[in-house]
Amino acid sequence: MRTTIKICGVQSVYLDYLREFDRVVSKDPAQNRKFVGILLEVNNFSYYAPLSSPKPKHEFIADTAPDVIKIERGRLGIINLNNMIPVLPPVIIPIHIAREPDHRYRQLLMKQMLYVRKNEEAIKKKAKRLYQIVKSR
């Protein structure tokens, strides 16, 4: 089976543009935080869902939460489906995990990507379910 979900970034100019319409779109005031997420397709549209580094609070998020996917029970972070944004190819920034200079961060990204590959269908299913919930409002 071919993996269709990829780890990527999104151009900050595009995030700034989206923020004009939706203030919930992620922003890093210090501009030193990496915005890395997954690229997936839902109903023939491409979406970017941010990854979050592990935090103690992630372990307490319910597994059944419709808007978050816990990676290894939250120990490796989460996929924030609740912050999923539509993207087009020109704004996507490929992430080359092997080129990441920070060893610890590179290891985290590798573990997150392994989880994503292993659970791709479940991730797509949950993203589609959230899409339907939001669309029906």
Which residue from 127, 137, 129 is spatially nearest to 4, judged by alpha carbons?
A: 127
- When comparing pLDDT for 99 and 2, which is higher? 99
CA distance 7 to 11: 14
Q: Which distant-in-sequence residues (6+ apart) come within 8 Å of 126 by Cβ?
A: 66, 69, 81
pLDDT value of residue 28: 57
- For domain 6-135, which architecture applies? Roll (3.10)
pLDDT value of residue 30: 46
φ, ψ for residue 88, nearest 5 deg: -115, 155
pLDDT bin (cut points 50, 70, 90) of residue 135 is confident
At 33-81, the pLDDT tens digits run: 677 999 999 988 999 999 998 998 888 889 889 999 999 989 999 999 9
pLDDT value of residue 1: 45
CB 7 within 8 A of CB 110: no
pLDDT value of residue 24: 79
At 8-45, the pLDDT tens digits run: 999 989 999 999 998 878 765 545 567 799 999 998 89
pTM, full prediction: 0.89
What are the residue ranges spanned by the domains of the chain?
Answer: 6-135
Residue 71 burial by Cβ neighbours in a 10 Å radius (0-12, 13-18, 19+): buried
Cα torsion 77, 100, 113, 93: sign = positive
